[in-house]
Structure 1
Amino acid sequence: MATEDLEWERSKISNQDMNLLKRLGFTKEKDALRFPREESYPKPPMEYRVSFVDHLIRGLSPPIHEFLRGLLFVYGLQLHQLTPNSILHVSIFITLCECFLGVQPNWALWKRIFCLRRNGSHGVAYNIGGVVICVRSDVDYFDVKFPDSVQGWRKRWLYVHEESSDSMEYNIAPFDGKAKILRRRSWDAEASEEEKLATEALMTRIRELQSTRGKELSGIQITAYFLRIRMQPLQARKNPLWMYAGDEDVERLSTDLSAKDLEKLIRRISKLSKKDTIPSSYKVAPFCRANPLPKGHLVLSSLPPLPEGGEVEERVVVTDDNQGASRPESGVGDSHKSAASLEKENETEVSSSTRSSLPAASPKGKRKRDEAIDSGASKPNTSRAEKTALNAEEETLDLYGAALVSSDDEEEDAPIDETARTSTSQLVRFGTQFIGYRDYAGELEEKLVEANKRADALAIELEQSESAHTKTVEDLQKRLDDAKRALEENVAQHSAREEEILSRLETQSRRFVRRTHQEYELENPEDDELLDALSLLEIHGTEARNGLDEAEAGLSRLFPYFFHKKERPAVFIDLAKCFNGNEDLGLQLRQEGLKVGVEGTMALVAESQQQVDWSKVGDAGKIETKKWQSLIKAAKPNSKKILATLGYKPTTAPSSSKPEVK
């Protein structure tokens, strides 16, 4: 089967995908994601790794979880070689372990449930998404309801920021788009008898979660749970999911999604139709801080081997890298089956030795067999030529370490014929098998010599510039110290200035309260003294502006009555000064009105042709208050007629006081 080494093309991420990533919280931190521009082949910047939109929405987020990191190492894979549904498999498994089993993700339990298969179609094995995680055919596991195909996921690639860490186990391996996929013994590794015994209670609990009537748990429910609580199962976390603290949990990627967004997301990563309901509650309560683990609960821990532990037995390549390929999952090709059913589909394509019935690699058995080969064990009459060929093979094995074994070696239960293994024909076959590796070693040696020359040249240049670098570092340190002191002084000055501004704002606020006799309280304080004082002053300023507008309108109406021979000032302060003089404008207005009334009365008397000696009226002198009131009362029946003639509408409380005379 041929392999498509390069399937990369220009990334095509839609605005809809970007908005989804924003709602899911992937962009809340600056530079958390970087989107490719014009490049058609990934070239991630420093401290960035290649990922896919469909990986992120299925639970992946850097820094990567140590369990997935271990899987990639043991299986000898790059992150881009796993399909989206495979990523979801790992997310569901971790959520199952931590939320419903109350244990750390368990490597022994994983080996009892899952195995790996190649992904390809029509004689072509893919590189991007070339490996599918499958449920073993003899295991009763959750029906995850994967979509039949994930259309176009290979085109939606991007760069994610991988946080630097002293511990290698939390870092994704550097991107290598040309890395070949080699099927390894670990792809079908099974749990040992001891591991099966240790995890039997967990397998029993999984069967109970699936089959307990009225309390059945499904793969969709597990998926909906980690999407709903906004925790990424494949992200390295300080606490396991059974310590989830609700909305206040600091490790949440974002706030709750709306019901509509959550439903659309679940339908996108599953094959649920619009008629299928999305689970909103759980009859089996997941473990969390509100529902803690029972007292005395045993928390098992079993992680895949990580690079810090050295090379592991399971990473040995057992066959050609194209053997055991499965049908495609990602929509490329004609297959419309989900990843969960790939293992059953391969019954007619893959022999029983490559399926779930394949026994686990036995480290002890392998070592014995390798020792037999490497030591040249044979019958006593082995020829010198055979020994020489065997020694050459041993040197090749020592040089490359991770040696290939023939497909015959996969069957651990097959009897070993030592005579056949040490025959001349077998040795020739082994020599032919490794000749390509010897040629490759020669090329590597030439490149190594060139690299050593460049390293020597760089070492000389580094030694020559060491003193200059030391001086530069000292200069930079001095400048850094100066900048630090300047920053501290600037911060102190800023703090003092802020305190002074706050004091002045509070003083202005108190002055306004004393003038208006009205205090205000902020409805939504900012919990910042300076901002809150400024907001309060803005309220006072608004109140003052409204008062000035009303005062200007009132004074403008009164101005013609008091100053009928003057022009109204255009500026408000000048208008206000007109009413703040020493003279009593009210008395002046009343006297003017009295003058108009007297003149009007005299005009009415003259019009009525009545004879009045006005000189005697003017000489009447000062009238006592009581007499004045009685005269007013006597004149009251006729006053309305006189007022009506003068054009005045009487008020409900007519004045009976004497006219004010200056």
Structure 2
Amino acid sequence: MAAEDLEWERSKISNQDINMLKRLGLMKKEDAIRFPSEESYPKPPMEYRVSFVDHLIRGLSTPIHDFLRGLLFVYGIQLHQLTPNSILHISIFITLCECFLGIPPNWALWKRIFCLRRNGSHNVTYNIGGVVICVRTDVDYFDVKFPDSVQGWRKKWLYIHEESANSVEHNIIPFDGSARIQRRRSWDAEASEEEKKATEALMSRIRQLQNTRGKELSGVQITAYFLRIRVQPLQARKNPLWTYSGKNDANRISGDLSTKDLEKLVRRLSRLGKDPVPSSCRVEPYSSANPLPENHPTMTSLPPLPEGGEVEEQAIIAEDTQGSSIPESEVAGSHKSAASHEKEVESEASESTQSLPPAVSPRNKRKRTDAEDSGTSKAEEVVPSHPKAAYDPYVESLVSSDDEEEVPITDVAPRTSTSRTVLASDTLVEGEETSPPQQNVVTTTPPSSPLAPSPKRTRVEKIVEPAPQLGSSSTLLLDDPMIKDLLRIGSQFIGYREYANRAEEKLAEAARKKAELAASKAKAEADEAKAKAAGVEELQKKLEDATAALDEHKAAQASREEGILKRLKTQSRRTFVQTNQEFDLTNPVDDPLLDALSYLELHGSEIREGVSNANAVLSALFPYFFPKKEEPATFLNLAKMFNTPEDLGLKMRQENMKVAVENTVALVADSRQTIDWMKVGDTEQIEQSRWKSLIKAAKPNTKKILAYLGIKPASTPSSSRPEV
């Protein structure tokens, strides 16, 4: 596993974060966000990209804004390599341009204010959040008051749906966790003289917004503004923010946040301390209520987009070192801390831009690789034009480590030469084996003189020479340098054939794995389709059952209504006299009297059944509560017997206790002992502990007494004094 992959771990998103995303309207669509399950490394589904909770709450949504897409392209970075504070920097800049300058986000203005730096230290380099956006040292910009650090944001990753995945426009580049951060010339790109002249009025307006007394604008105010109007600055929108029309604006993603949620979110994104959260901006932003002035210039300047192809500023600077890294905490406080660090690396950055290496090409590619081995630049800062192949000792033996210019292909030198270089041409000759792709193979024969220095890391294949025959000229032929070169080249081509066979086997294995993966995906899709079909059949069956039950209910209802109509025909006159209400027998659908009678008949049987059950229950309980009385004949009188103000249950327990006491007294009297019954009745004179000990002593005779009385003893007889 690559070192960059070790930064990823299982996503840990709390319920509090999920609730915040819901309140912000970022989960309004069902498939807008997917949360990882058990994977510890992102594997985004089709049409999804990797993002973070702290990126989304700082203004990121899909489809992304063209300005953000251009920044990612020009800087040569991916979305997960930006820190949360860098995302907020871009959101504030876009809001500043559209709401307070009245222009689209301007690339030339951006280059005058910002640059890019690595995020790390001398001992640590990051890939997740490995770059930070910094304010230039010579620019007076808003004091954003970022938090000192964003705790645990790398662990809160998720998948966001790429809404425009079917088109090129507004797409986020596909996730590649193994892509390393490489410093490019565009990181320090400055505005040209023409761009500086064109944006000078904008810079003056920014200084005016910052320094106008009583109307100072701050980064916290801008942050609170775009959170308050519920528009994501980094989302591709139909209309710019200077046309914002309030609660009915098409760009809003949710309703207004509560005052508590807004204050909590602003404090999470900023370092306010005890300062209050601004309720509004001191400068009124442009909107439909405050339109742009007439003849207001709209300067359009976007960073280059991928559709335009490569740009010169994307060239990689090979001299990028750890010294150019800056910890995120240093840029978190304000732009001043970033500026102070930029001074330390300014000389290094200028040196890198002044002496840029040539672009990687097939001719100087090997020289760049050798430069990496020598330690002049870091390996991670050179982008190879093709994936690095595995180490092959045979191929290594064909490549010299000397940094020599390539020699044109010429005829073989005269036989008298002591050493020569043979170059295998890229031109294919019929009947010859081809060399591995993109390999210019240079081989050097050993010098004839033992005193001549041999090239570094040069390996020469050992050629097994046949034993010379006596009396022949084979010895002279084998000693000839030309014959030796031919034999060596032949052995090399045999090695190339083996290399080609291995490459062919690897390609076949890769094709097989790809076919197996496609087959497994197709099987999973087929299983899912079968499950959906089974679910549809089950729902259809339930629908048919419900329809049949409804038809039966309608038929029963119609039958009841028909019976009612028949009875009403015979009793129409009496009904009219009693209710003084006519009814229409020819069209009984909307007749209220008929509906009331139908409802009464429907529930009458249930009422009768309930009264019958209540009568049976009360009859069964009557002899226990009223042992010396006769049960009433009617249900109403029976119910009245139980509906008394006294507690019948308590009364029954008291009666039973009275019987038990009388039985006990009878047993004691029969024992022919002299007992002072006055003292026995005075229970207040005995202590509770004494009472419990006496009950415990009497327990051995309890079963005998109860058996004598014909009562089955309970499992846990009560010895509570209040019961007595």
The alignment's TM-score, normalised by the length of structure 2, stands at 0.52
**Alpha-carbon distance change, 95 to 441 in structure 1, aligned in 2, over 3 angstroms:** farther
**Alpha-carbon distance change, 392 to 230 in structure 1, aligned in 2, over 3 angstroms:** closer
Aligned residues: 442
Equivalents in 2 of 1:325, 1:4: separation in Å?
19
Equivalents in 2 of 1:293, 1:516: separation in Å?
74
Higher RCO (CA < 8 A, seq sep 6+): 1
Per-residue deviation at 1:84?
A: 0.5
Equivalents in 1 of 2:227, 2:270: separation in Å?
13
**Alpha-carbon distance change, 165 to 325 in structure 1, aligned in 2, over 3 angstroms:** same
**Alpha-carbon distance change, 131 to 347 in structure 1, aligned in 2, over 3 angstroms:** closer
Question: Contact conserved, 2:144 with 2:334, CA < 8 A, in 1?
Answer: no
Equivalents in 2 of 1:292, 1:358: separation in Å?
47
Residue range with higher mean Cα deviation, 318-327 or 224-233: 318-327
* One-letter amino acid of the counterpart of residue 344, structure 1: A
* One-letter amino acid of the counterpart of residue 314, structure 2: R
Specify the alignment match of 2:364 in structure 1. Answer: 393
Per-residue deviation at 1:291?
A: 1.1
Cα deviation per residue 1:212-233 (whole Å; 9 max; x = unaligned)? 1111111111111000000000
Specify the alignment match of 2:689 in structure 1. Answer: none
**Superposed, which structure 2 residues align to 1:588-627 within 5 Å?**
none
2:341 to 339, 342, 346: 346
Specify the alignment match of 1:214 in structure 2. Answer: 214
Structure 2: gaps (5+ residues): 369-375, 379-401, 407-434, 441-498, 517-525, 527-532, 534-539, 552-557, 559-578, 582-591, 608-632, 638-724
Specify the alignment match of 2:287 in structure 1. Answer: 288
Per-residue deviation at 1:349?
A: 4.3
Specify the alignment match of 2:70 in structure 1. Answer: 70
Equivalents in 2 of 1:184, 1:134: separation in Å?
15
Specify the alignment match of 2:238 in structure 1. Answer: 238
Per-residue deviation at 1:104?
A: 0.4
**Alpha-carbon distance change, 446 to 237 in structure 1, aligned in 2, over 3 angstroms:** farther
Specify the alignment match of 2:588 in structure 1. Answer: none
* C-alpha RMSD over aligned residues: 5.1
Question: Contact conserved, 1:50 with 1:175, CA < 8 A, in 2?
Answer: yes
Per-residue deviation at 1:439?
A: 10
Specify the alignment match of 1:298 in structure 2. Answer: 297
**Alpha-carbon distance change, 141 to 31 in structure 1, aligned in 2, over 3 angstroms:** same
Structure 1: gaps (5+ residues): 375-390, 398-404, 408-426, 432-437, 462-471, 473-478, 480-485, 498-503, 505-514, 518-536, 553-565, 571-662
**Superposed, which structure 2 residues align to 1:401-550 within 5 Å?**
428=403
Question: Contact conserved, 1:7 with 1:128, CA < 8 A, in 2?
Answer: yes
**Superposed, which structure 2 residues align to 1:21-420 within 5 Å?**
21-273=21-273, 275-329=274-328, 338=333, 340-346=335-341, 349-354=344-349, 392-393=363-364
Q: Secondary structure at the match of 1:115?
A: strand
* One-letter amino acid of the counterpart of residue 325, structure 1: S
Per-residue deviation at 1:428?
A: 2.9
Question: Contact conserved, 1:182 with 1:320, CA < 8 A, in 2?
Answer: no
Percent identity for Structure 1 against Structure 2: 63
Q: Secondary structure at the match of 1:50?
A: strand
Specify the alignment match of 1:467 in structure 2. Answer: none
Cα deviation per residue 1:324-379 (whole Å; 9 max; x = unaligned)? 5333216xxxx69536344334257424242xx78988xxx98xx969x99xxxxx
**Superposed, which structure 2 residues align to 1:12-23 within 5 Å?**
12-23=12-23
Q: Secondary structure at the match of 1:247?
A: coil
Cα deviation per residue 1:595-631 (whole Å; 9 max; x = unaligned)? xxxxxxxxxxxxxxxxxxxxxxxxxxxxxxxxxxxxx
Per-residue deviation at 1:305?
A: 0.5
Specify the alignment match of 2:429 in structure 1. Answer: none
Q: Secondary structure at the match of 1:71?
A: helix
Per-residue deviation at 1:7?
A: 0.6
Equivalents in 2 of 1:458, 1:337: separation in Å?
46
Per-residue deviation at 1:297?
A: 1.0
Per-residue deviation at 1:16?
A: 1.0
Q: Secondary structure at the match of 1:22?
A: helix
Per-residue deviation at 1:322?
A: 3.8
Question: Contact conserved, 2:331 with 2:338, CA < 8 A, in 1?
Answer: no
Per-residue deviation at 1:20?
A: 0.8
Cα deviation per residue 1:150-184 (whole Å; 9 max; x = unaligned)? 11111111111111345423011111111100010
Cα deviation per residue 1:98-149 (whole Å; 9 max; x = unaligned)? 0000000000000000001111024221111110100000001011001111
**Alpha-carbon distance change, 244 to 450 in structure 1, aligned in 2, over 3 angstroms:** farther
Equivalents in 1 of 2:92, 2:125: separation in Å?
26
